[in-house]
Amino acid sequence: MGNLRRQKRVRRNQEVLSSKARDAISSVVVALILDPDSKYRLVADQLLEQLPLHRRLTRNHWLCAVLNNTCKAISPATYANYLGANVTSLLVDAGMPKLLAETIGKSTAFVAVRTINASSYDQLIAGLRLLIVLVCPNMDACPVQNEVCTTLVAPGIEEVLKRRLAN
């Protein structure tokens, strides 16, 4: 019974995702969403089973928000911006003119983002956002729907998700 309900929810969420993405979602992503034997489905099922009882009963978008916040937290740009701000602050405190310190700080952040291996982060973020589709109680009303749609219709997402499955 619960498995049938999950399948209906996932199918409904996939339809919402497809309509919101103007049918730009690829068949590979749809297959990953609908395949009951995919690693993503297995992880999603485990996540739902591990939810505390009060979260399972209310079935709001708490887990969607947690997964999306995790995507934001692991983004290399998040840490690069902190690095740039800290470099700027240190240079200003050392007596450097503010405009010059900001230029160096932003340049440092730019180089840091380019230095970090972004493809592994892209794989992880794409996988987490795919999990949101699988665990969301109602994608049509999901507060993170825009981020999910944007990620899952991005050019090359199929390859990113395939590489994630291979790892």
User: How far apart (Å, rounded) are the C-alpha atoms in residues 96 and 120?
Assistant: 36
State the greatest distance between any 2 C-alpha atoms of the chain, in Å, as a whole number.
Answer: 68
User: How far apart (Å, rounded) are the C-alpha atoms in residues 69 and 156?
Assistant: 23
pLDDT digits (tens, 9 = 90+) for 20-74: 655 566 667 777 777 777 788 888 888 888 877 777 666 688 889 999 998 888 7
pLDDT digits (tens, 9 = 90+) for 76-132: 777 778 888 999 999 999 998 999 899 988 888 888 777 766 666 777 888 888 889
Question: Is the model's pTM score more than 0.85?
Answer: no
